[in-house]
Amino acid sequence: MSEGAGPKAWLREALAPQPCPAGTTSREIVRRAIEYRDPPRIPYAFIEPVRSDFFEVAELERRRRATGEARGPRQVRPLLNADVDATRIRKRQGIKMNAPEDKESVLARYMEGPELLERALAGIQDSGLDARPPQGGWTIRQIVHHIADGDDLWKIGIKMALGNEQAEFSLDWYRTLQQEVWADRWAYANRSIDTSLALLKAIRNHVLQLLEQVPDGWYRSVGFRKPNGEIERVPVGAVVELQAEHVVHHVERIRAIRSEIGGV
């Protein structure tokens, strides 16, 4: 795009289907969503980013440098809110989901998640849990509840795959609202984190126990209905990997927030 191109021209270019940047994966979407203080929508494992996913961020950064303007997290909100799965991100087409072959390694990361989260929270006071990050976004308390709810939502998909592979798993009821709305309706800002930490640990122990008793469970799958109505086969191993990474990314954000607010 030339420097002199008008806003309509760069927008058309941004929305045109183009190849994903080399080395960019759906996990990068999650990382960037956290970096820009906007909780990501799920399921990110079932989308294939294209260059336009990052075009607006690059354009805003170019304009910021040109004007000397300080970067603000809400500048990129249009790219990372409920609109992303409607316009900015192209759904995967013809790409089959596979369970990762390094099962033991992925399971180890999955089971380490609750301890990783608890270590990131060690010594924190209520004031730290509820402190608003200087540049906006969720508090640590809200992030903890979001992590536990993510596991709770996907636990059903795992159990469906292990018990009835002909069943169809859908998160349409969840996707219809932005995560900020669910955070409000599920009282993220007011609830103690103790129950959510216990829930996260219980779910992961439960899933591990199930996989130990169902030898081929790692590769069993459930039909997942995507927003465009298509059904995709999603294996248990892929969901476990998704949730393992979900905790890691949010733990990084929690550490960053503690650093920003003075480690309270």
Confidence at residue 64, expressed as pLDDT on a 0 to 100 scale = 59
Does a structural domain hold residue 97?
Answer: no
Share above pLDDT 70 across residues of the chain, in percent, rounded to a whole number: 63
- Same domain as 73, residue 112: no
Residue 117 lies in a domain: yes
Lay out the sheet containing 221-225: strands in order across.
168-169, 221-225, 231-235
What pLDDT score was predicted for residue 11? 46
pLDDT, tens only, 105-120: 999 999 999 999 999 9
Whether 112 maps to a domain, the answer reads: yes
Whether pLDDT at 157 is above 80: yes
Predicted pLDDT at 237: 94
Residue type (1 letter), 167 = A
Q: What residue type is assigned to position 33 of the chain? A: A
SS3 150: helix
Catalogue the E-assigned strands of 135-228.
168-169, 221-225
Q: How confident is the model over 219-237, as a mean pLDDT?
A: 87
Q: Are residues 114 and 67 in the same domain?
A: no
pLDDT of res. 179 = 84
Residues 84 and 108 in one domain: no
Is the separation of the CB atoms in 238 and 100 below 8 Å?
A: yes
What mean pLDDT comes out for the span 127-135? 91
Q: How confident is the model at residue 170 (pLDDT cuts 50, 70, 90)?
A: confident
245 and 116: one domain? Answer: yes
Does residue 242 form part of some domain? yes
DSSP symbol at 67: H
With vertex at residue 170, the alpha carbon angle to CA 144 and CA 14, rounded to the nearest 5 degrees, is 80
Total number of domains in the chain: 2
| Same-domain status, 169 and 219 | yes
Higher per-residue confidence, 62 vs 95: 62
**What would the pLDDT profile of 74-108 be if each residue is shown by its tens digit?**
333 333 332 333 223 333 333 457 888 899 999 99
Within 10 angstroms of residue 38's Cβ, the number of other Cβ atoms is 23
Confidence (pLDDT) at 67: 64
Of 91, 117, 132, which marks where a domain is finished?
91
Q: Tell me which residue of 243, 232, 253, 217 sits closest to 48, measured CA to CA.
A: 232
Question: Which of 47, 67, 91 is a domain's end point?
Answer: 91
The CATH number covering residue 133 comes to 1.20.120.450
pLDDT at res. 176: 83
* N-terminal to C-terminal alpha carbon distance within the chain: 45
For residues 209 and 150, membership in a common domain is answered with yes
Question: What is the Cα–Cα distance from 77 to 133, expressed in whole angstroms?
Answer: 16
Q: Which of residues 91, 122, 141 is at a domain's end?
A: 91
- Confirm if 131 and 139 have CB atoms less than 8 A apart: yes
Task: Assess if residue 96 is contained within a domain.
Answer: no
Q: In the predicted model, what is the mean pLDDT of the chain?
A: 75
Instruction: Report if residue 214 sits inside a domain.
Output: yes
- Same domain (yes/no): 128, 57: no
Q: Same domain, yes or no, for 206 and 155? A: yes
pTM for this entry: 0.67
- Amino acid 53: pLDDT: 43
Overall residue count recorded for the chain in this entry? 264
Q: Count CA atoms closer than 13 A to 88's CA, side-chain side.
A: 19
Banded pLDDT at 10 (limits 50, 70, 90): very low
- Regarding whether 229 and 154 lie in a shared domain, the answer is yes
* Dist. CA 37–CA 249, nearest whole Å: 12
Whether residues 144 and 192 share a domain: the answer is: yes
| Domain extent at residue 157 | 103-260
Please tell me the predicted confidence (pLDDT) of residue 122. 95
Separation CA 131–CA 257 (nearest Å): 9
Q: Are residues 110 and 39 in the same domain?
A: no
Compute the distance between CA of residue 150 and CA of residue 156 in angstroms, rounded to an integer: 11
Between CA 104 and CA 100 the distance in angstroms is: 10
| Angstrom distance (rounded) from CA 144 to CA 51 | 31
Distances (CA, A) of 67 to 59, 77, 207: 12, 20, 51
| Residue 234 is assigned to a structural domain of this protein | yes
What average pLDDT score do residues 194-215 get?
A: 97
Q: What is the pLDDT of residue 65?
A: 62
In a domain, 2, yes or no: no
pLDDT band at 204 (very low <50, low <70, confident <90, very high): very high
